[in-house]
Structure 1
Amino acid sequence: MKKSYCPIDTFINVVKGKRKATIILHLYQGEKRYSELVRLLPDLSERMLSKQLRELEQDLLVEKTVYPEVPPRVEYRLTELGKTIRPILKSMMKGGVIFENLIETDFLNTSQKEN
């Protein structure tokens, strides 16, 4: 985690990345095995999922437990810090829905003008 000029930038730098916010929201529902996260995020390669999880661990938002079994069982859960950012991510999701609706409306208006 690196401090930025602006606290907003610091926060965004921590959660930006290929589906990090979505990973956090899935883990807020409870701990997940790696294979569950793979199923929940079918558009994310396993390599990218591993990278994002590793970065979330480094930023102290996620903790990983590896059980000494064959085959190894790996589970991820949010830390207390990770749990605190859920309301922020939910607000960002609401903002995303607003902008997606505007994009769709603009697309519809543009299509109707062309006809």
Structure 2
Amino acid sequence: MATKLGRSELSVQLYMLRHGIARHQQVKRNLLRELIGVKIDTAYFHPTKDFYRAVNINQVRFQQIWQGYRQATSDEMERVAHHLNFSREELLKFLFNRQLNLFDKD
């Protein structure tokens, strides 16, 4: 693709990263992004080193999950929810909506 565009491979990769274009197959539903979106507008969410330490997910793994290349485990989801101080009601509402969406047609 880079040679057809007359650009370097790195410039094409950076363009794709900046514009959110997937390079690999993505998961059907990004549950971690949805979970964080309940508390924070995902457009403004920028994890810090303290966040990575608190949730015990390294930067590479978190970015793979955030970009949809991997699915978060239930343990990782639980740690993020705990870090964001989810109330029991918020978690139940999220889980209830998640269960309902399992039966939606794509």
TM-score over 0.5 (shorter chain): no
Q: Which has the higher strand share?
A: 1
Higher CA-based Rg: 1
TM-score normalised over the length of structure 2: 0.28
